[in-house]
Amino acid sequence: MSAEIHGTPKRATVLWLLLITATLLTWAMGAADVAGRLTILLLAVLSFWKGSVIILDFMALRHAPVLWRALTLGWMILVWALIAIAYWKGLAR
């Protein structure tokens, strides 16, 4: 039933609050002016987790054929991998 694929209001609210918390954490890291390999890793993990909530829950791809999850989550993995490679390249200069 399609009622199941969009989850419950309670679940959506909890996820939204977690997303806001993760955003404030990203902002705090920016404000603290932290940099370096560990920071970019943490920022990437936070951003990846937030994106996966949007993809799996808000876009309801958790209940879609696996190909669509693979394409969208795969896109995020590829983009962050490229950003990480470029960042490392910059550090190595």
Partner 1 sequence: MENVRLPLPTASPPASTAPTAPRLAGDLAIWFFILAELLAFGVFFAAYAFTRANHLELFDAEQQALNRSAGVINTVLLLTASYFVVRAVQAAERAASAQSARWLLAAIGCGLGFVGVKLAEYSAAFEHGISLSSSPFHMFYLSLTFFHFMHVILGLVILVALWNGARQGRYHHGDMNGMETGAAYWHMVDLVWLILFPLVYVIH
- Asked if 38 is part of the footprint of partner 1 (rule: CB under 8 A), the reply reads no
Q: How far apart are CA 84 and CA 70, in angstroms?
A: 20
Is residue 75 a contact residue for partner 1 (CB under 8 A)?
Answer: yes
Helix axes 66-92, 37-53, angle to 10 degrees: 160
The answer to whether residue 13 forms part of the interface with partner 1 (CB under 8 A) is yes
Tokens standing for residue 81: 């991998």
Tell me how far, at minimum, the Cβ of 32 lies from partner 1, in Å.
Answer: 11
Site size for partner 1, by CB under 8 A? 62
**93 in helix, strand or coil?**
coil
Output the smallest distance, CB 20 to partner 1, in A: 6
- The residues that touch partner 1, with contacts defined as CB under 8 A, are 1-13, 15-16, 19-20, 23-24, 26-27, 29-31, 35, 39-40, 43-44, 46-47, 50-51, 54-66, 68, 71-72, 75-76, 78-80, 82-83, 85-87, 89-90, 93
